Structure 1
C-alpha cells in the first residue's frame, strides 16, 4: 500500500498510520484544506528543526503561503502546535489504540499499546521523535495520548490483572516507561525485542508476576488497520484542556 504521508511530502510512515494522520489533519471546505496544508507543513518543519526551533515563517514557506495566512488560521505558533498535537492524537494514537479493540484482556491490551508505540519508533523514528517533541511542547497531546492506556489500566484493575496503589502514579509509570523506550528505539540505541521488554516491565510495574508478564508481553500483535477519525473530533477538541486524571 502507498504511503499517503509521502504524497504529502512528510517523513515516511507505515501506510495505515499515514492514512489516519492525513485524514485527521483536516479536509472538507477551503478553510479546512488550508489548515490541513499548514499542519502538514508544520510536521515537515518540526521534524527538521524541532518544535522549539521552528518558526511560523518557515511553516508558511514550506506550505507555499504567507505568514499572514498562517496567522489568519492560527493565532500563534502555540495554536499551530496544538493543532498538530490533535492530528497526532486523532491519527496515530487512535489507529494504534483501535488495533486491539477486539482484545478483552486488559493486560494484553496494555502490552499491545506499549509495543505498537515502540514499533512506531522503529518503523518511523522521525514521527516518534515528533510525537515526543510535540508532547513536551503542548500538554494537550499528553492528555489525549493517555485515553487508551488509562482505559486499559482500568479494565485490568477491574479484571484483577493489575494491582497498583494509585491510578495517577500508575499512569505516570506507563507513560514514562513508554516514552523513554520510544526515544531509545528511535535513536537506534535499543537492543533486539526492546518492545517486548518494555511491555514486560510495564506489566510488572502494574503488579503482574514476572512469568505471566513475560508471557502476555510476547503474544502476537493484532493487525494494524486504518482507523478513520471521528467526524469533527479534532475540531471539537480544539482548545479543550486535557482531562484531569483521578
Structure 2
C-alpha cells in the first residue's frame, strides 16, 4: 500500500453483537460481488478517516489494494460509492436491529428498541455512528432504507392505538432528526448512559403516548441480538423494494 495512506486504521471498532454481520466476505459470493464488497469496506475506512467530503476514489483503491480503474469498473462516481455504503449499512445494521425485535408485538416497544439501539451504537462505537451520520448526509438512500423499518413500527403502533400523529411524514422527520442528534451528542461524549432511554420516552410521548406509558415502555430491557444465521453477506447492489 502507498505510504500516503498509512494513516488508515485496520478496522473500525464495532460492538461484538454487530461485528460478525459486518465482517469479512463469507464463502458463496461471486468474484465481482466479493470485489465490490471489498471496495465498500475500504470506502468505510476512508470515509471514517477522511470524511466523505475529503475522501477520493484513489484512496479507496489504495486501501482496498486495487487499482483506481477497478474502483471505476464498479462505481462511476464517489456518490455511487456512498450510496453502496449506505445500502450496505442499512441492509446489515438495520436488519440486525430488526432481528432483535423479533417476537415483540407492540409497535411502541419496537420503536423504543430501534431508537435506543442507534443511540447505543453511538455509545459503543462512536466512529460507526459518526460514519452513518456522514454517509446519510452524502447518500440520502441510507435514511430512505432505515425509514422502511421505522415506518412499519410506527404504523403498527398507530393501528394499536398507542400512537396518535397528525402526519406520518412529520412524525418521521421528528424521529430522524431527534435520533440523529442524539447519536451525534453521544458519539461526541456528552450525555449519560440513560440518554437513549430518555430520548425514546420523549419521542413516544411526542407520538401520542401518555407520559407514564411512554416511560414504562422505554424502560423495558432491550432484547438481546439473536445468533447470526450462517450464509453469505451480500454486496450492496441496489435499492431494496418497499
TM above 0.5, yes or no, is: yes
Is the CA contact (8 Å cut-off) linking 2:33 and 2:234 kept in structure 1? no
CA-CA distance at 1:225 after TM superposition: 2.6
Give how far 1:149 is off: 1.0
Q: Contact 1:108–1:216 at 8 Å: present in 2 too? A: yes
Partner in structure 2 of residue 3 of structure 1: none
The equivalent of 2:162 in structure 1 is: 161
Give the distance between the partners of 1:192 and 1:83, measured in 2 at CA.
32
> Aligned in 2, Cα 1:224/1:166: closer, same or farther, shift over 3 Å?
same
Aligned equivalents of 2:228, 2:180: Cα separation in 1: 22
Q: Secondary structure at the match of 1:222?
A: coil
Maintained 8 Å contact 1:99/1:224: yes
Indicate the residue corresponding to 2:193 in structure 1: 192
With over 3 angstroms needed to count, the CA separation of the structure-2 counterparts of 1:241 and 1:136, relative to structure 1, is farther
In the alignment, what sits opposite 1:89? 90
Q: In the TM superposition, what is the alpha-carbon distance from 1:230 to its structure 2 partner?
A: 9.0
Q: CA deviation at 1:12?
A: 0.8
Alignment partners' CA distance in 2, 1:158 and 1:188 = 37
Count of matched residue positions in the alignment of Structure 1 and Structure 2: 233
Using structure 1 for the length normalisation, give the TM-score: 0.88
Q: Which residue of 1 aligns with 2:180?
A: 179
How many Å separate the matches in 2 of 1:120 and 1:197? Answer: 16
State the alpha-carbon separation in 2 of the partners of residues 231 and 14 from structure 1: 18
Tell me if the contact between 1:118 and 1:181 (Cα under 8 Å) persists in the aligned partners: yes
The aligned runs of 1:228-239 (5 Å cut-off) are: 234-235=236-237, 238=238
Q: Secondary structure at the match of 1:191?
A: coil
CA change 1:62–1:27 in 2 (3 A) is farther
Kindly state the Cα deviation for residue 77 of structure 1 after the two structures are TM-superposed: 0.9
Cα shift readout 1:80-135 (whole Å, capped 9, x = no counterpart): 11111111001111101221121001111110110011110000110011111111
The structural deviation recorded for 1:188 is: 0.5
Using a 3 Å threshold, how does the CA distance of structure 1 residues 141 and 204 change in structure 2: closer, same or farther? same
Structure 1 residues 25 and 120: alpha-carbon distance in aligned structure 2, compared to 1, 3 A threshold: farther
Moved over 4 A (4+): 23-27, 226-233
Where structure 2 has 5 or more consecutive residues not aligned to the other structure, the ranges are: 1-8
- Alpha-carbon offset, residue 23 of structure 1: 6.8
What TM-score do the two structures reach when normalised by structure 2? 0.89
Q: CA RMSD in A?
A: 2.3
CA distance in 1, matches of 2:235, 2:70: 24
Render the CA deviation track for 1:112-167: whole Å, top value 9, x for unaligned. Answer: 11001111000011001111111110111110011111011000000000011011
